[in-house]
Chain A
Amino acid sequence: MTEPVPAGGGADRSPRPWRAANRAFAGRRRLGVGALLGPPLAWMLVVYVGSLLLLVWSSLYRLDPVTQKPTHEFTWANLRSAFALWDADTRDAIWPFVRTVGVALLVTAICVMIAMPVAFFVAKVAPRWMRRGLIVAMLMPLWAGYLVKGYAWRAMVSPAGGRFAAEGKGDGGFLESVFGWTPGYGRVAIVVALVYLWLPYMILPVYAGLERLPPSLLDAAGDLGARPLRTFREIILPMLLPSVAAGSIFTFSLTLGDYIVPQIVNNGEERFMFGSTINATLGAPNQPLAAAYTLWPLVIIVLYLLAMKRAGAFDNL
């Protein structure tokens, strides 16, 4: 510290308002907590929690079929048409949600399968001086911009003879023209782009978990005759579970809520992800029904967070 701390003794020489504040807070712990916590807590409760409650509340209003605006009449109809799975219409509307959960699980599984060997290499195999650089290199693409990355995958997978074929010379995006093959726009591109977006969120906690794993444990397993695969299965995997759970919170919940990048890399099917369903319902316009639909991801995320909390994920965030 460059400036010496003045020994105040008794006389407070701070500017006048500061002096008053010092007097007011001296020795009053509760007042201190209240003053510090008050503004952020008020903001979060009023702006955020308040909005969420208002959203749930707004799903209980009836939509006026003529003006297409929510009225102030109370109805269960919106919640019913969002949750009555015995109803064929509801099932049709909710089908994208099931598909979205499937995509989220698939993306999470692929991220785990890529992150495990890569994080293991960085944490345990690569020379010590390379580790920091490698992990920073893995994390930096996180900041390249969400849309930029979605757009980049569009440029990667765009097929020959697409809508841009007439505009420029040379057909097709990077994959098509360099490798002569592309998955094109569609489901494969959606999963690849989502894995691309969220992979660093899985690599980081898995890497941190592996770094905490004492090397002596792995040596002991080796000395006792365990082959690497067995050491992996019986030592590394169980100890890494909380880290994987922590990473999966990101890969799962971010995929679940995403619909914009899937739209960018999916020219054909407009409504692949559930987010698009909610968005389209809102634009229909049917705000109360859209509000009811948002309860699906809300409930699933809360359940998922609770499950991951049990797996020890929150100590590893």
Chain B
Amino acid sequence: MKLSAPSRVALALATVATLVFLYLPLAVVLRLSFNPAKSVAWPGFNGYTLDWWRKAWEAEGPKDALLNSCKVALAATFVALVLGTLAAMAMARFRFFGRNAVSFLMVLPISLPGIVTGIALQNTFSRTFSLTLFDIRWFSFRVGFGFHSLVIAHATFCVVVAYNNVVARLRRSSPNLLEASADLGAHGSQTFRYITFPLMRSALLAGGILAFALSFDEIVVTTFTAGSGFLTLPQWILANYSRPQNVPLVNVMATFVMVVSIPMAYLAQRLSDGGTDT
């Protein structure tokens, strides 16, 4: 299609404008985290301070919240990777009745509004947690609101990310490899160890990073399933963004989140694109 020069320029300008639209607000928060004044008012380019970064580092609240978020995200990612990989291996390797229903089931938790998922899980948890007490000899373990409920809730909507990454990788890799392995006399566990697992290693890493990011960022389901007394970083930001004395710390934590997670997401992208050469 031959486009005239002016329309090419117009399209280019629209693209540049969109990029500005996407990055400007993030840049504003970045700038505000070095703002000497305690407000969201735009300071222009005069006056920079590292005070708020130091204060955020020293303060207990945001650090605890950050740690909680990491703990929940790590545990949820682990559960999601195990469940997602199992499902992906079944879906990529076998044809069976109800296959479409399974893939629909995986996507459901992220397609439905967070508030529906949140209230549904909260309702279930508050009805069942009092019943779930594992007390097996010296091993006593009580499931409750807080860390446990968040891991269960987050793992549920993170499974799809792990599943998508692994299933895409397994579909792209040739089934001949598995047959060749079997023909050479490898047993099931050997084929998994030497063929299947190396094939999906980078997809697992990519899925893991994305699942971690999804859990780390989640707020709606979190507010309903955290219970009281357990605060994740998004919850801390939500509780503090409108408190004038804490606005500078919110700026710092917000900047921290984006400075850490954007490069991680880029890495995940590279990992899930690669790996076709094996």
Contacts and interface: CB of A to CB of B under 8 A. Distances in A.
Interface stretch (A86-94, A239-247, A290-298): A290-298
B266 interface: yes
Grouping DSSP codes into helix (H, G, I), strand (E, B) and loop, the A interface class, with mixed when no group exceeds half, is helix
A185 B218 CA distance: 24
A149 interface: yes
Contacts of A44: 105-106, 108-109, 156, 159
Interface stretch (B40-48, B50-58, B129-137, B139-147): B40-48
Interface residues of B, number: 96
Contact of A145 (B190, B194, B198, B261): B261
B241 A264 contact: yes
Nearest to A20: B189
Contacts of A55: 116, 119-120, 123-124
B190 A39 contact: no
Contact of A140 (B15, B83, B102, B265): B265
Interface string A215-238: 100110110000010010000000
B105 A49 contact: yes
Interface string A129-168: 0000010111111111111110111111010000111011
A154 B120 contact: no
Contacts of B262: 140-141, 143-144
Given A14-B189, A25-B188, A278-B119, A145 B38 contact: no
Contacts of B276: none
A1 B278 contact: yes
Interface in B147-198: 152, 155-156, 159, 163, 181, 184-190, 194-195, 198
Given A9-B185, A172-B42, A40 B84 contact: yes
B234 interface: yes
A58 B122 CA distance: 12
Contacts of A138: 18-19, 22
Interface residues of A, number: 112
A155 B28 contact: yes
A145 B218 CA distance: 9
A33 B200 CA distance: 19
A68 interface: no
B194 A257 contact: no
Contact of B254 (A6, A126, A148): A148
Interface string B252-271: 00100110011011100100
A52 B278 CA distance: 41
Contact of B217 (A50, A145, A155, A282): A145
B194 A3 contact: yes
Contact of A5 (B42, B96, B181): B181
A199 interface: yes
Interface of A: 1, 3, 5-10, 12, 14, 18-19, 21-22, 25-26, 29, 32-33, 36-41, 43-45, 47-52, 54-55, 58, 114, 117-118, 120-122, 124-126, 134, 136-149, 151-156, 158, 163-165, 167-174, 176-178, 196, 199-200, 215, 218-219, 221-222, 228, 231, 249, 253, 256-260, 264, 275, 278-279, 282, 287, 290-291, 294, 297-298, 301, 305
Interface of B: 1-4, 7-8, 10-12, 14-15, 18-19, 21-26, 28-29, 32, 37-44, 82-84, 86-87, 89-90, 93-94, 96, 102, 105-106, 108-109, 111-117, 119-121, 123-124, 127, 152, 155-156, 159, 163, 181, 184-190, 194-195, 198, 213, 217-220, 234, 237-238, 241, 244, 247, 250, 254, 257-258, 261-262, 264-266, 269, 278
19 contacts: A21-B188, A29-B94, A32-B90, A36-B89, A37-B86, A48-B156, A121-B14, A139-B269, A144-B257, A147-B217, A151-B254, A152-B25, A163-B244, A170-B44, A228-B1, A257-B115, A294-B116, A297-B116, A301-B112
A-B pairs, 6 with minimum CB distance: A257-B113, A168-B39, A168-B37, A152-B25, A143-B265, A36-B90
